[in-house]
Amino acid sequence: MKKLLSLILPAVMLYVTPLCALEKTLSIWTSNENVKKAILSMAAQFEKEYQTKVEVNVLNKDLTTQFKTAALTSKGPDILCWAHDVIGELAESGLIEPITLPPSLKNQFLPVALNAFTYNGKLFGYPYDLEAVALIYNKALLPNVPTSLEALAKLAKEINNNGKNQYGFLYDLNNFFFSFPILASNGGYIFKDRSGSLDVTDIGLDNPGTLAGAKFISYLVKEGIIPPSTDRSIAFDKMKAGSLAATIDGPWSLSDMRKSNIKYGIAPIPSLNGMVARPFVGSHGFIVRRSSANRELAKEFIENYLVSFEGIVSLYKNDPRGPSRSDAIAQLSKDDPDLLNFMKSAENGIPMPNVPQMGAVWGSMGSALNLIVSGQSTPEEALKVARQQIYSAVAKAQ
């Protein structure tokens, strides 16, 4: 009997040990059900290889607030899946883990994606997607995209005046997000980037570059090219109806464009004064909680599964957003040329600042644009006031 047990027990343990080992759990929080599906599709092999269960929770309300509250008491998820603009606040609080990428992985990411998750010179997240606005145009009205905004404005004026109730160029020019590519094209900036660290005391929103962009926006209105009341809804409705030649919009518009009967194209926003238009870039990624006991395991799962080539492709197929890896872009754009064209725009872009002080920018710059577009203030005056407001808000918060 003892001899029989000695033969049976080792065999039984081969099956029992892995099951017991799965008591270790890697916890992930996201707000996106489609991202959850992608993560779980990659989890099975990881669970088998690392004897660790992957648990994904979807939190639809105040995800970052819940994360901060939990992380301050060394609780919460091992991995947070969220947008890059919270990085500065979480890093300043010491809640998230700085990471060092293996060179082979680092070289696959687009630089702008890594910059989005960099704070004070350190990388704090693994980007998996990218989004930026671009020029969407109607090929019937604009067969060839001009290389400059000046040329586009001239063509737009001709289309406006052709008597066919058509428009050449419309976009939400009162919105800082959509106008930023023009404001940044000639060297305008929000906070000075000093080798991976944003200097929030150096505000460039009234510098000569920003002013050049603001003057062009004012010109578009004064010349009757874009009505001052134009918003995103007005512009996009005319695009879908086929009466607009070009607009500035993002990849979130693709579903509606594909349902329309418009033969459309996508291109980087044309240059201004010979300088490249630079849209905001947004990115989502995976962030590791610094107080997690599973930090190294979390990094293994992210690096070898979630942001691997296969992982990025799976994330894209479940939640179609521009991939952060160049090899994934090359592969996926074979079947989706729209993706490649939006990525060309993103490569020219600037990551939306990931510092808490960015909260002071939106309202002041929105007001400045409203004053410029309505003609209530000159670009010089409006930008000067906006910069002073932002500087005061930043100084008060420090």
Residue 320 is assigned to a structural domain of this protein: yes
Same domain flag for 342 and 365: no
pLDDT band (50, 70, 90) for residue 196: confident
Residue 4, in any domain of the structure: no
Q: Is the pLDDT of residue 287 over 50?
A: yes
User: Out of 32-41, 189-198, 385-394, which region has the weakest mean confidence (pLDDT)?
Assistant: 189-198
Residues 272, 304 within the same domain? no
- pLDDT of the residue at 182: 99
How many Å separate Cα 8 from the centre of its chain?
56
What is the domain-level CATH number for residue 163?
Answer: 3.40.190.10
The pLDDT value recorded for residue 22 is: 56
Answer yes or no: do 157 and 25 share one domain. no
Q: pLDDT higher for 301 or 60?
A: 301
- Measured in whole angstroms, the distance separating CA 343 from the mean position of its chain's CA atoms is 11
3 is a domain residue: no
* Pair 25, 112 in one domain: yes
Whether residues 373 and 327 share a domain: the answer is no
122 in the same domain as 190 = no
Q: In 3D, which of 373, 343, 350, 341 has the Cα closest to residue 137?
A: 341
Mean of all residue pLDDT scores within the chain: 94
Q: Which residues contact 391 (CB under 8 A, 6 or more apart)?
A: 201, 203
Per cent of the chain over pLDDT 70 is 94
Q: How many CB atoms lie within 10 A of CB 208?
A: 10
For residue 234, pLDDT beyond 90: yes
Same domain, 89 and 153: no
Looking up tokens 């995103």 gives: 232
Does residue 1 lie within any of the structural domains? Answer: no
Give dist(CA 173, CA 182) in Å, integer: 10
In angstroms, the CA 115 to CA 127 distance is 10
Q: Are residues 48 and 172 in the same domain?
A: no
Q: Are residues 246 and 322 in the same domain?
A: no
What pLDDT score was predicted for residue 397?
83
150-154 long-range contacts (CB < 8 A, ≥24 apart) are: 150/272, 150/273, 151/270, 152/246, 152/270, 153/216, 153/219, 153/220, 153/223, 153/225
- Residue 250: CB atoms within 10 Å: 20
- Residue 271 above 50 pLDDT? yes
Q: Are residues 375 and 338 in the same domain?
A: no
Q: Going by DSSP bridges, is the β-strand pair 350-351/134-138 parallel, antiparallel, or unpaired?
A: unpaired
Q: pLDDT > 90: what percent of the chain?
A: 92
Statement to judge: residues 370 and 316 lie in one domain: no
Rounded mean pLDDT, 113-141: 98
Mean pLDDT for the stretch of residues 193-212: 95
The reported pLDDT for the residue numbered 398 is 78
Give mean pLDDT, residues 101-115: 97
**11-51 residue pLDDT tens:** 444 444 444 445 689 999 999 999 999 999 999 999 999 99
Q: How confident is the model at residue 176 (pLDDT cuts 50, 70, 90)?
A: very high
Do residues 268 and 63 touch, judged by C-beta distance below 8 A?
no
Report yes or no: 28 and 39 within 8 Å, Cβ to Cβ: yes
Task: Provide the residue range defining the domain that includes 191.
Answer: 134-278+355-397
Whole-number Å distance between alpha carbons of 110 and 112: 5
* Two tokens, residue 196: 């991976």
In the chain, the N- to C-terminal Cα span, in Å, equals: 76
Considering the domain architecture, whether residues 34 and 80 belong to the same structural domain is answered as yes
Q: What is the mean pLDDT of residues 71-89?
A: 96
- pLDDT (average), residues 310-321: 97
Whether the Cβ atoms of residue 79 and residue 43 lie closer than 8 Å to each other: no
**Mean per-residue pLDDT, 359-371:** 98
Q: Is position 378 within any domain?
A: yes
Number of domains in the chain: 2
